[in-house]
Amino acid sequence: MEVRKFVLKRFVEIFIIFFVILTVLFLLFRLAPGDPVTRMVDPTLTPEDSQHLIAQLGLDQPMGLQYLYYIKNFLTGNFGNSFHYGETVSSIIWSRLPNTIILFTTSILLSAFVGVFLGKIASWKKGTKTDTWMTLGALVCHTLFLPWLAMLMIWIFGFKIGWFPLNGMISPEIWMDPSSGVWLKILDVLHHMVLPLATLFSIHFGSYLLLMRSSMLDTLKEDYILTARAKGLEEKTIRNKHAAPNAALPVVTSVGISLAFSLSGGALTETVFSWPGIGRELVFAVSNSDYPLAQASFLLIATVVLISNLVVDVLYAYLDPRITY
Amino acid sequence: MVERFLEGWSVYKENLIGKIGLTLLVIFALMALCSFFPPMIDPMYHPMTGVDPQISHATSPSWRHWLGTDFIGRDILCQLLAGARIAFMVGISAAFMSIFLGTVVGMIAGYSGKIVDTLLMRLADMILVMPTLLVVLILSSLFGQLNIWTIVLLIALFRWPGVSRVIRAQTLSLKERPFIEAAKVAGASHFRIIFRHIMPNVLPLSLLYMTFRVTSAIIIEAALAFLGFGDPSTVSWGMMLQWVWKTGHMFQAPYWLLPPGICISLLTLAFYMLGRAMEEVLDPRLRKEVAQE
């Protein structure tokens, strides 16, 4: 019951935050130097078409009404047309979203699991050579400059050795060929995914490792670990059953906090690898002054961050029964 | 004050990670200082405008250009040195501003409590979940090309919430201490209590967070420049990487691709290591762990 109340409270908070972001974005797009009409309506449209779009977006109305139009359009998923693609923004965004989610979720989960696992070992071997090298390695991986690492990956594994494709998400010749089966297509996507995934993984697992290590060292000082030792349990059982689950809790919170950082990284990775996701679309839209697309992709990324934060909070509430809200 | 510093230093210099970090920082600081000299030797060594009259394409390292030249014949080593200067400038000024903002907001929120606290902390939560890089991207699309100081300011404005949370927690516990009570009874104003009595006690913590903020500021600026939204009148390492990438020299010119990336990575690593070592100096709990080893 308590948990449900907490979740509801977080839900309301996140809803309010989202509304504020929506409003700030509206104000920014209206107050920035230049004419909002030229910003939201494709200059290459015919006069009738642009008149129609202006009416639809409410750009001929006073500010207050414009805001209502904006909210209504947002709720109905109408973001106008992309200047560059000429299609509706929502159709572009919906086709890119799954690609981002696939890459992003896989990389976060993989780096969190490996980070937690290695952090556990490092804390257990504290003070030894293994620990020193793992900590140093984690620090170095974590501070590598992401776009540069991405370029190195492409250069070494894509260009020099040639194991993996240089960029993109699919090979057209496989997807155009009607005879290729589903498994071949899945394999093809996985093949393209290896390098971006490896890049994101290298950047992220280090921070999880360091966090798990210090959290584990804290946990090992708890009384219940002493109790477990006194009972004569095996070290392995103490480490895996008693210490690790509790020590992993802060890592769950940090996944939530570092999401914003990871999404920026995701956008960079997608851009360098030409992975057709939301982040790349945002960078592309900003470079080409494609304002409707930029606005919508930013909103969507903000939504993803907020929802993931909510998920992490709820997860935490269920994972740690000691916490009362 | 001096004693405290010396005591801290004696703990610090025992720390391997801290020593590596400090050494790297000194090297980069020397690089930044050296950046003033090459343009004096010959105008062709100017990182932005200096073009070697005999070279019009990317060339590999030679005696004339130790790290080679970029696609229009500018010296890569000179750009690298100038980049160190920009990185320090961006990192330290953005970190200083965001720490200043975060400390003041944190102290005010913690000290005032009630509605002020709630409002400031909700604002902090909101900014905390926003990906700074993408926010700055959107702003640069709306307001056109940003110059380097605007970028610094924007980074500072979006990177204070993490600090203010920590400072607020610290202030909350300080507020209950007798010396604050004493100051109140003695008739000190709120302003005086915050800046004269609370601030000296939270400053070490702010300083620690500053090293981590330097790291993130450098990374954000570099990423922004890499995506083509940097200040076009400066040569930063991110900008150099963008040139390699955009001019398609990624596969042909490793002498051009490697140095800027190594520099960004090592400089951020240096500040990060500095921060972790300082953490041990400031937190005796962590320090004891080291002593036991």
pLDDT tens-digit readout, B147-188: 899 999 999 999 888 889 889 888 888 888 888 888 888 888
Percent of chain B with pLDDT over 90: 23
- B191 has pLDDT over 80: yes
> Residue A182's pLDDT is what?
79
Alpha carbon distance B19, A262 (integer Å): 29
Using CA atoms of A136, A139, A141, A145 in order, give the dihedral in degrees to the nearest 10.
-140
Q: Which residues of A touch B260 (CB under 8 A)?
A: 148
SS3 letters across B44-60: HHCCCCCCCCCCCCCEC
> Residue A324's pLDDT is what?
56
Q: Is B189 on the interface with A (CB under 8 A)?
A: no
The larger pLDDT score, comparing residue A37 to residue A266, is at A266
- Cα–Cα distances (Å) from A321 to A277, A315, A318, B273, in that order, read 37, 11, 6, 35
> Residue B94's pLDDT is what?
94
> Residue B265's pLDDT is what?
93
Smallest Cα distance from B265 to chain A, Å: 5
- 8-state DSSP, A182: H
Q: Chain B: residue nearest A131 by CA?
A: B293
What is the arithmetic mean of pLDDT over B124-148?
84
At B69, give phi and psi (nearest 5°): -125, 165
Nearest one of B129, B102, B163, B216 to A255, comparing CA atoms: B129
* ipTM surpasses cut 0.90: no
The per-residue pLDDT of chain A, averaged, comes to 83
The per-residue pLDDT of chain B, averaged, comes to 84
H or E segment at A172? helix A172-176
Q: Taking the CB of residue A37, how many other CB atoms lie within 10 A of it?
A: 14
Give me the amino acid identity at A193. M
> Residue B293's pLDDT is what?
32
What is the arithmetic mean of pLDDT over B93-104?
93
Q: Which residues of B touch A288 (CB under 8 A)?
A: none
* Residue A58, SS3 per DSSP: coil
Q: Which residues of A touch B118 (CB under 8 A)?
A: none
Residues contacting A136, CB < 8 A, separation 6+: B17
Token readout for A314 is 């709820």
What's the pLDDT band for B95 if we cut at 50, 70, 90? very high
- B290 has pLDDT over 50: no
What's the pLDDT band for B291 if we cut at 50, 70, 90? very low
Tens digit of each residue's pLDDT (9 = 90 or more) over A206-238: 889 988 988 888 888 888 888 888 888 888 888
What is the arithmetic mean of pLDDT over A11-28?
86
Alpha carbon distance B56, A138 (integer Å): 41
> Residue A323's pLDDT is what?
61
Alpha carbon distance A235, A227 (integer Å): 12
Tens digit of each residue's pLDDT (9 = 90 or more) over B81-92: 889 999 999 999
Are the beta carbons of A145 and B245 separated by less than 8 Å?
no
Choose the closest CB to B223 out of A20, A260, A268.
Answer: A268
Choose the closest CB to A283 out of B126, B137, B293.
Answer: B137
What's the pLDDT band for A96 if we cut at 50, 70, 90? confident
Are the beta carbons of B265 and A145 separated by less than 8 Å?
yes
Query: Packing angle between helix B254-282 and helix A146-153, nearest 10 degrees?
Result: 140
Are the beta carbons of A135 and B260 separated by less than 8 Å?
no
